[in-house]
Amino acid sequence: MKNGTLYGVGVGPGDPDLITLKAAKILKQVDVIFAAASTKNSYSLAMEIASPHLKEGAPVVSLGFPMTRDKKKLADAWEKNGRKVVESLKKGGNAAFITLGDPLIYSTFGYIFHTIKETEPDIPIEIIPGITSYQAGAAAVGQILVEAEESFAVVSGALGAERLKDVVHNTDRVILLKVYHQYREIMDTLNQLGLASGSILISRCGLDDEVILRDLKEGFDTPPPYLSLLLIKKIDPV
Ligand SMILES: C[S@@+](CC[C@H](N)C(=O)[O-])C[C@H]1O[C@@H](n2cnc3c(N)ncnc32)[C@H](O)[C@@H]1O
């Protein structure tokens, strides 16, 4: 039997109107939908966005993985999840793995993609790009991300501000995702580098409880929600 195709589908950053026509079309066709139960937050939101577009009766399978940085445990979990997806594709039906924003930007889709490419290279994989959180964030605050000869970098704040310090001197703007956990260290670093007043924190962009904080000199006392990002613009040379 011919293997089914796996579609990595970006469902956009949160606003249900920001899913693409192509993503909606693919979701209507596939026989099964997979989503990573990475954080309750992003899993349920991706599902909420996808739900109105699914084929009637198509099962939704949640793929769990341990909340750990232990590489071995993660690899084992993703191998197991990859096998589940492969078993389904080997029955011949097509499947979608849904992800918030774009599937190629800090997405759990990456784990499945690598696992299947390595273990079952004959299984076809197609990627349906999605509007990223930071594109939606820049639109929400009405800021051009880059123009003329400028450049920007997308950085993870999951482990703190070190990566931000590495890149900030070589680019015009930094987009920092995953800021919620290490927000105090990140805030301190922005202040030390004189970047706080040029930074905007955007939380839960496109959702009813969206929050936008401009000029972060005062910082923020409570941890921002998981779905939060920083747009950092260098105003003066640092
Ligand atoms: C695992 S990454 C997923 C990124 C996603 N694939 C994308 O293309 O934007 C999760 C991080 O994306 C950012 N994010 C995703 N959706 C967001 C939203 N609606 N508002 C603000 N930040 C968001 C946050 O920084 C969050 O910690």
Segment 165-213, tens digit of pLDDT = 999 999 999 999 999 999 999 999 999 999 998 899 999 999 999 999 9
Find, among 25, 33, 28, the residue nearest to 6 by Cα. Answer: 33
The verdict on the CB of residue 190 being under 6 Å from ligand 1 is: no
The verdict on the CB of residue 178 being under 6 Å from ligand 1 is: yes
Confidence bin at 68 (pLDDT 50/70/90): confident
Question: Residue 1: inside a domain, yes or no?
Answer: no
The verdict on the CB of residue 204 being under 6 Å from ligand 1 is: yes
Q: Note whether 19 and 120 are same-domain residues.
A: yes
The verdict on the CB of residue 82 being under 6 Å from ligand 1 is: no
Q: Note whether 149 and 93 are same-domain residues.
A: no
Confidence bin at 3 (pLDDT 50/70/90): very high
Residue 219 to residue 202: CA distance in whole angstroms:
13
The verdict on the CB of residue 181 being under 6 Å from ligand 1 is: no
Mean predicted lDDT score pLDDT of the chain: 92
Our mutation pick for probing the ligand 1 site, out of 39, 97, 133, 207, counting the most ligand atoms within 8 A of Cβ, is 133
Q: Note whether 124 and 141 are same-domain residues.
A: no
The verdict on the CB of residue 53 being under 6 Å from ligand 1 is: no
Residue 13 to residue 131: CA distance in whole angstroms:
6
Residue 176 to residue 7: CA distance in whole angstroms:
27
Alpha-carbon torsion, ordered 112, 114, 120, 123, to 10 deg: 70
Q: Note whether 19 and 103 are same-domain residues.
A: yes
Say if strands 95-99 and 6-10 run parallel, antiparallel, or are unpaired: parallel
Other beta carbons less than 10 A from residue 198's beta carbon: 19
Q: Note whether 122 and 157 are same-domain residues.
A: no
Q: Note whether 187 and 163 are same-domain residues.
A: yes
Q: What would the mean pLDDT of 100-125 be, rounded to a whole number?
A: 94
Using the mean position of ligand 1's atoms as its centre, give its distance from the Cα of residue 24 in Å.
20
Using the mean position of ligand 1's atoms as its centre, give its distance from the Cα of residue 169 in Å.
24
The verdict on the CB of residue 107 being under 6 Å from ligand 1 is: yes
Q: Note whether 116 and 191 are same-domain residues.
A: no
For a pLDDT cut of 70, what percent of the chain falls above it?
Answer: 94
Domain count across the chain = 2
Q: Which of 128, 155, 178 marks a domain boundary? A: 128
The confidence score (pLDDT) of residue 222 equals 80
Q: Note whether 89 and 48 are same-domain residues.
A: yes
Alpha-carbon torsion, ordered 25, 29, 32, 33, to 10 deg: 0
Q: Which residues contact 26 (CB under 8 A, 6 or more apart)?
A: 7, 9, 96, 128
Q: Residue 101 belongs to what domain range?
A: 6-128
Q: Note whether 98 and 205 are same-domain residues.
A: no
Q: For the domain that residue 66 is a member of, what is the CATH number?
A: 3.40.1010.10
Q: Note whether 23 and 60 are same-domain residues.
A: yes
